[in-house]
Amino acid sequence: MKYILITLLVFFSNSLFAQLSVGQLKTENLIDPVGIDLKEPRFNWQLISEKRNVLQTAYEIKVFNNKKEIWTSGKKNSDQSIWVKYKGAPLKSNQRYHWQVRVWDNHGNISAWSKLAFFHTAFLNKNDWKARWIEPGFQEEKERPSPIFRKEFNTGKKIKKATAFISAHGLYEAYLNGNKIGDAYFTPGWTSYNKRLQYQVYDVTSLIKSGQNVIGAILGNGWYRGELVWKNNRDIYGSDIAFIFQLEIEYKNGKKEKIISDNTWKSSIGEIQFSEFYHGEIIDARKEKAGWLNPNYDDKNWMGVKEVKHNMDVLLATYNEPIKKQELIKPIKIIKSPNNETILDFGQNLVGWVMVKASGQSGDKIILTHSEVLDKNGNFYRDNIRYARQQNTYILKGGETEVFEPHFTWQGFRYIRVDEFPGEIKKENFTAVALHSDIRPAGEFLTSDSLINQLQSNIRWGQKGNFLDVPLDCPQRDERLGWTGDAQAFSRTAMFNYDVHNFFAKWLRDLEADQQPSGSVPYVIPQVMRKKDAGSAGWADAATIVPWNLFLAYGDTLVLTQQYKSMKKWVDFMLSKSNNYLWNTGFHFGDWQSFRVDDDEHGRSAFTDKYFISQCFMAYSTQLLVNAAGVLGNTQDVKQYSHLLQQIKEAFLNEYITPNGATISNTQTSYVLALQFDMLPEALRQTAADRLVKNIRAYNNHLTTGFLGTPYLCHVLTRFGYPEVAFELLAQKTYPSWLYPITMGATTMWERWNGIKPDSTFVSPRANSFNHYAYGAIGDWMYRAVAGIDQEADTPAYKRSIIKPYINSNFKHVSASLQTVYGKLASSWKIANGRLSLDVVIPANTSAYVYIPTESKGDVTADGTLISDSKDLKVAGEEEGFIIVNVGSGNYHFAVNLH
Ligand code: BGC
């Protein structure tokens, strides 16, 4: 009897567990992060269940340090499974904390305890840093070759663990016993260095050994003092590069030791003769100090180092994913151009460098020049790269095969011109390495239309190539800056394709750090331009738009708390520059790169009054501030700024709108912004939307919008009853359109609608990047309207999603998915044999409204059963063209006849 009881118990508890488990444990949205300096890091997890309608009803967290439990939340009755704060005893520096969680659901199941996850703390106290900043102990040469540092040390005893804390002025690569520490590049990344300088934390237990050890480091100029923004504009943050390093060793016998950068280190110059982002790198392998990364190398001829003082208060642990190597791409062709150049084509415009293998004599050279396109005649074209040299040079040591790749530079390219090479040029000796911030892929979007799939691929590549620690405008010419307008325009699309929570959260801290005392926001973040280069509408609004979009996508209220002051300061700045609530002062970029007639034959230029635009963005930013105040419970601000918003809109109507709802500019962007930001009273909205469509028709079904109008164009058309027109614009293949560049062979998004004209000539090289993500902002509409993955406005992080696809005969099928904070959300629809089917996946602990595109309620089936006969699914409502079904988590298959 007893035996049977136990068996039964085991059986039941197993089957209960089998129905519910927990996975994807993350701390501050990262899996097992090393280097967290928050006092109250936050935990996220996902519920996994085969069942439908699963909601968390309670959770329990335990946190351990050295196997000792240091905190338990106890059983908390709550559905919160994201951003749950650690609330235990104060965390200590440089400790590994393990944690696990178990959950209860609404079906009476309890999960087993999850596997252990961990986070490793960085320095939590100011005086944890014992290391000194060091600089080379010699006079620098003009070309600024990379200094190298070394330090030998002995560890007598058995090692338990070793952790390194590293940063630099400039860029660093660090080595322990010949092995690179970590696999990140361009560390310590780019921040507003004078106010915020990130350090990285590495677990180096596997690299250290008992006995003699060597630390090596190489520094590069990078953003700190390399050329940036304008010709000969160097030393933005300082004229000297420097290094700081602290290694904390814990021995098995409990003893601890620190190895720090100080005046006992040695310095010299190695093989890197020159390196800058814009211009490339020169490596002379003959100058390599052979064996310098190994113990017992003789460094007696090296110079010492200089200890220098720098503000230690600006040091902070890295919050975002570092830049890493992501993909290797082989050349698809070797081309001999009419100008007799030898060109390798990698088939994809990408960002990174080319790893090259060669053998030759000592002093033989390899010179590779990078560019994005070939000209009309098939010759190498690099005028649009402007002043950036984009060239890597390698000088061979001679002898056996040598492999080269740069350290402190990247290039944007599809083609390389091989200017010099010892011996025959063969494809197998060249490999392109694509690098970008190590953001996790989040979304997928696939359709039956190959051109649209190529557009999605171009948007993704645009994101990969420009998400290099900072959201860049472009990765190739002498620019590569964190342009705020581009970032805000693309931000929602970016959040569909990749998990960019930490990436943007970190950048927003720099935005706040560089915001001017007046509240004005610089054109670029980090700020590296002049003081006056700030305050443009649609650019500076990154201060409000990006935090709000982050909140929507990830449900992180801390971002809003942290950015709130900055958001408010920006709104107050606009108000301070306004006259009677009309913001009609100052310089603005306007609807950048919108259609201009001198570019082409048809139509007229689409110029939208810049102060019309600034008024719209002032209203939008104010609206977002009100939203944020609402979320944070700041009722006073909700009241005050709601009132302000009304005044801004009134001033707008008086100044820019005719009594019949025409805008003074009468452009597509003017209607799009007025409608998207709810600038018009209800009564004028539909006629404004009609005028927008009339305008599109007048341009023969083409868009004419620039950076600011484009992100919202199709959303506005869809919202006001013209989804068909949005689909026409998406399908348009002639200029200006999203597909035109694809018909011209684009593999990334272009800066201009017509970077390459129909006759294969180029527009002005002054601004003609072939890797600029701003127009990729259509991706947001593709996910939200074509595939139909959206959410309720007041339930961020897709806690309550809306699946509402717009069906269009241009597609036979469309499918998309998104890894939300709660888990995978997916929608795919297909038209076959006169039937429409719609498959959706809703993650556990969330629910959804599914909008089935049909008028005929009676016909809809769910998993083969008529909805009207279904026990658990109910039609929750109807909207023009849709039947709405309310569902819990799980997989559902809907189908309906097409009429
Ligand atoms: C950049 C843009 C940026 C713009 C400002 C350009 O040079 O590449 O994308 O937003 O300047 O208008």
pLDDT tens track for 82-141: 999 999 999 999 999 999 999 999 999 999 999 999 999 999 998 999 999 999 999 999
- Predicted confidence band at 11 (pLDDT cuts at 50, 70, 90)? very low
- Residue 662 clears pLDDT 60, i.e. is over it: yes
C-alpha atoms less than 13 angstroms from C-alpha of 371 in its C-beta half-sphere: 22
Give dist(CA 409, CA 390) in Å, integer. 9
C-alpha 77 to ligand 1 mean position (Å): 50
**Reported confidence tier of residue 603, pLDDT bands at 50, 70, 90:** low
Q: What is the pLDDT of residue 597?
A: 75
Ligand 1: distance of its center to the CA of 473 in Å? 7
For the CA of 539, the closest atom of ligand 1 is 10
Backbone angles phi, psi at 898, to 5 degrees: -90, 140
For the sheet containing 21-27, what is the strand order?
Answer: 21-27, 42-48, 84-85
pLDDT in the model for residue 602: 55
| Total Cβ atoms within 10 A of residue 807 | 21
Residue 307 annotated in active site: no
The tens digit of pLDDT for each residue in 487-536 reads 999 999 999 999 999 999 999 999 999 999 999 999 999 999 999 999 99
E strands along 797-834, which residues? 800-803, 813-820, 823-832
Q: Dihedrals φ, ψ of 626, to 5°?
A: -60, -45
Cβ-contact 534, 523 below 8 angstroms: yes
Nearest-CA residue for ligand 1 atom 1 is: 473
What does the pLDDT look like over 689-717, one tens digit per residue? 999 999 999 999 999 999 999 999 999 99
Pocket (CB within 6 angstroms of ligand 1): 473-474, 479, 483, 485-486, 589, 592, 767, 772
Residue of 292, 406, 302 whose CA lies nearest to 353 = 406
**Of 734, 768, 732, which is closest to residue 750 (Cα–Cα)?**
768
pLDDT number for residue 126: 86
Please report the pLDDT score of residue 10 as a whole number.
Answer: 45
Q: What is the end-to-end Cα distance of the chain in Å, rounded?
A: 63
Residue of 161, 176, 304, 328 whose CA lies nearest to 245: 176
Q: Determine what percent of the chain falls in helix, strand and coil, rounding each to the nearest 5.
A: 25, 30, 40
* Residue of 267, 265, 258, 295 whose CA lies nearest to 177: 295
Mean of pLDDT values over 574-590: 97
Mutational test site, ligand 1, from 483, 521, 770, max ligand atoms within 8 Å of CB: 483
Rounded Cα gap, residues 38 and 29, in angstroms? 13
- Which of 154, 167, 159, 160 has its CA nearest to residue 213? 154
Structure tokens belonging to residue 425: 């040029």
Per mean pLDDT, which range of 95-99, 156-160, 637-641 is the poorest? 156-160
Nearest CA, atom 5, ligand 1: 589
Positions of E strands within 644-756:
none
Alpha-carbon gap, residue 592 to 607, rounded angstroms? 9
Q: What is the DSSP letter of 46?
A: E
Please state, rounded to an integer, the average pLDDT across all residues of the chain. 96
Cα(775)–Cα(486) distance, rounded to whole angstroms?
Answer: 9
- Residue 707 in contact with residue 485, Cβ under 8 Å? yes
Q: Which of 546, 162, 577, 503 is nearest to 323 (CA)?
A: 503
Output the six-digit token pair for 223: 């953003």
pLDDT computed for residue 787 by the predictor: 98
Pair 199, 166: CB distance under 8 Å: yes
Which atom belonging to ligand 1 lies closest to the Cα atom of 523? 5
Which residue's alpha carbon is at the smallest distance from atom 11 of ligand 1? 483
pLDDT band for position 727 (cuts 50, 70, 90): very high
Residue 424 has pLDDT above 80, yes or no: yes
Distance 228 CA to ligand 1 centre (A): 14
- Active-site pick, 271, 402, 479, 728: 479
Q: Which of 751, 855, 879, 880 is catalytic?
A: 751
Over residues 425-434, mean pLDDT: 98
Integer Cα distance of 461 and 450 in angstroms: 16
**What are the b/e assignments for 163-179, b being 16+ CB within 10 Å?**
bbbbbbbbbbbbbbbee
Report the separation in Å between the CA atom of 739 and the middle of ligand 1, taken as the mean of its atom positions: 22
pLDDT at 248 over 60: yes
Which residue's CA lies nearest to atom 8 of ligand 1?
473
Tokens describing residue 876: 């929750």
Name which of 514, 515, 516, 492 is nearest 504 in CA terms. Answer: 492
CA 483 / ligand 1 centre spacing (Å): 7
Angle at the Cα of 323 (from 317 to 327), degrees rounded to 5?
A: 155
Predicted local confidence at residue 18, as pLDDT = 58
Nearest atom within ligand 1 for CA of residue 772: 9
**What is the band of 447 on the pLDDT scale with cuts at 50, 70, 90?**
very high
Omega before residue 188 within 30° of 0, cis: yes
The rounded Å distance from CA 451 to ligand 1 centre is 27
Is 751 an active-site residue? yes
Q: How large is the average pLDDT for residues 589-605?
A: 76
In the reported structure, the alpha carbon of residue 619 is separated from the centroid of ligand 1 by a whole-number distance in angstroms of 23
pLDDT at residue 462 tops 70: yes
CA distance 320 to 36: 11
List the residue whose alpha carbon is closest to atom 7 of ligand 1.
Answer: 767
Best residue among 385, 486, 523, 773 to mutate for probing ligand 1, ranked by most atoms within 8 Å of CB: 486
* C-alpha count within 13 angstroms, C-beta hemisphere, residue 778: 26
In this structure, the strands spanning 890-897 and 861-862 are antiparallel
Q: Tokens at residue 310, please?
A: 């720098």
Confidence of residue 601 (pLDDT cuts 50, 70, 90): low
pLDDT of residue 17 exceeding 60: no
Q: What percent of the chain has pLDDT over 70?
A: 97
* Closest by Cα among 827, 878, 838, 844 to 862: 838
Q: What's the CA gap between 771 and 472, in Å, rounded?
A: 10
Question: Sheet of 890-897: strands edge to edge?
Answer: 443-447, 813-820, 823-832, 835-842, 890-897, 861-862, 865-866
Residue closest via CA to ligand 1's atom 9 equals: 473
3-state secondary structure 306-358: EEECCCHHHEEECCCCCEEEEEEECCCEEEECCCCCEEEEEEEEEEEEEEEEE
Between CA 861 and CA 798 the distance in angstroms is 25
Task: Give the tens place of pLDDT for each residue, 529-556.
Answer: 999 999 999 999 999 999 999 999 999 9
Instruction: Output the CA 774–ligand 1 centroid distance in Å.
Output: 10
Ligand 1 atom nearest 483 alpha carbon: 10
Does 14 have pLDDT greater than 80? no
Range list of H helices, 215-332? 222-225
Q: Whose C-alpha lies nearest to ligand 1, atom 4?
A: 483
Q: Are 184 and 17 in contact (CB under 8 A)?
A: no
Q: Which protein residue has the closest C-alpha to ligand 1 atom 12? A: 589
How far is the C-alpha of 401 from the C-alpha of 328, rounded, in Å? 20
Tens of pLDDT, residues 196-243 = 999 999 999 999 999 999 999 999 999 999 999 989 999 999 999 999
pLDDT at 871: 85
- CA 172 vs. chain centroid, Å, equals 23
CA–centroid distance, 460 to ligand 1, in Å, is 20
> What number does the ligand 1 atom closest to the CA of 767 have?
7
Asked whether 778 and 710 are in contact (CB, 8 A), the reply is yes
Q: What is the DSSP letter of 718?
A: H
Q: What is the mean pLDDT of residues 568-590?
A: 98
| pLDDT (tens digit per residue) in 333-368 | 999 999 999 999 999 999 999 999 999 999 999 999
**Of 473, 525, 541, 587, which is best to mutate to test ligand 1, by the most ligand atoms within 8 angstroms of its C-beta?**
473
Cα 600 to Cα 753: distance, rounded to the nearest angstrom: 11
CA of 571 to the centre of ligand 1 (A): 23
Residue 606: the pLDDT is 85
> How sure is the predictor about 598, in pLDDT bands with cuts at 50, 70 and 90?
low
Cα 340 to chain centroid, rounded = 40
- Report which ligand 1 atom has the smallest distance to the Cα of 751: 9
